[in-house]
Amino acid sequence: MHASPRPCADAPLQRPLLTAQEREAIDRSAWFASLPPSLRHDIFRLGHVTRHAHGDTIVEQGRSIHNWFACASGALRFRRTTPAGRRMTLAYVEPGIWVGEAEVLYGHPCTYDAHTHGNTTLLSVPEIALRALLQQHPTFGQALLTLQARSMRSLYLMMEDVATMPLRARLAKQLLHLQERFGPHHLAPGEHRLLGLSLAQEELAGLLGGSRQRVNTELKWLERNGLISVRPRGIELHDVQGLRTLVEQAAAEGHPD
């Protein structure tokens, strides 16, 4: 199977277009908004829109990819399968985030796979168009370096958290992070914040670098203390400030588990 974004089987023959909401999700990305208008126009012009159902394979581990792409709606789950066969969730990508530029330009097989989470729309720029944009827009190379620098900074911060914060605080921080990225933006007074993603405990464990059993223990602690509720439809955050305080205290102490 080719590891590029693919349309659903029942996709119409005409080229699909982004909806106003999908285009807005890409436009409001701080990185994308910083690009010159002519470059943003060319990216939209050269990109191909594909729509996917939940669980569609977008990237296969061990295969090369030939598209740089952004999530326009829905979400992408990135996962790695170890040589022993264990599947570990690495990250979730929300609308507005661009991924794959390093893999396309490097040309080596991917070390992860990616699947859609929920109904998802992607805007994909083929490799030949990506390289043409680098030739035609002198500022684009620097912009891609900035994009990579942001990704590396996020990775370093995650490594720092693992080294300096206990699992409970890392879990609280991850829940706040996921709710901010995927949860509803407008809430009625007194309404609890829904996480926005339905995650299995194994997936949370992968995101945190812990075991499912330990993550389950910490979820129960947070629930007993009124900070969250674990519901069939997902996790609800009841006390956002309490979760933030937990994270801040752990960061100040600087002691891992």
Question: Are 93 and 126 in a shared domain?
Answer: yes
pLDDT on residue 233? 72
> Residue 220 belongs to what domain range?
165-253
Question: Domain boundary at 159, 185, 217, which?
Answer: 159
Query: What CATH number does the domain containing 68 carry?
Result: 2.60.120.10
* Cα–Cα distance list, 10 to 51, 74, 192 (Å): 10, 19, 37
Helix (H) or strand (E) holding 87: strand 87-93
Beta bridge partners, 234, equal 231
Question: Are 58 and 110 in a shared domain?
Answer: yes
Query: What CATH number does the domain containing 223 carry?
Result: 1.10.10.10
Question: Are 126 and 177 in a shared domain?
Answer: no
Q: Determine the Cα–Cα distance for residues 38 and 43; give it in Å rounded to an integer.
A: 9
Question: Domain boundary at 120, 138, 159, which?
Answer: 159
Question: Domain boundary at 159, 185, 219, which?
Answer: 159
Question: Are 150 and 215 in a shared domain?
Answer: no
Question: Are 42 and 130 in a shared domain?
Answer: yes
Q: What region does 71 belong to: left with phi over 0, alpha with psi -120 to 50, or beta?
A: beta
Return averaged pLDDT per consecutive 10 residues of the chain, 257 residues in all. Answer: 45 72 94 96 96 95 95 94 87 93 91 94 97 96 94 86 89 91 68 76 85 92 93 85 92 77
**Residue 1 covered by a domain:** no
Question: Are 57 and 115 in a shared domain?
Answer: yes
Question: Are 173 and 147 in a shared domain?
Answer: no
Question: Are 144 and 172 in a shared domain?
Answer: no
Question: Are 28 and 142 in a shared domain?
Answer: yes
Sign of the CA dihedral 25, 31, 37, 43?
negative
pLDDT on residue 192? 67
**Residue 13 covered by a domain:** no
How large is the angle between the packed helices 140-164 and 127-136, nearest 10 degrees? 110
How many separate domains does the chain show? 2
**Residue 11 covered by a domain:** no
Q: Determine the Cα–Cα distance for residues 73 and 91; give it in Å rounded to an integer.
A: 16
pLDDT on residue 9? 43
Question: Are 142 and 193 in a shared domain?
Answer: no
pLDDT on residue 82? 87
pLDDT on residue 134? 96
Question: Are 112 and 172 in a shared domain?
Answer: no
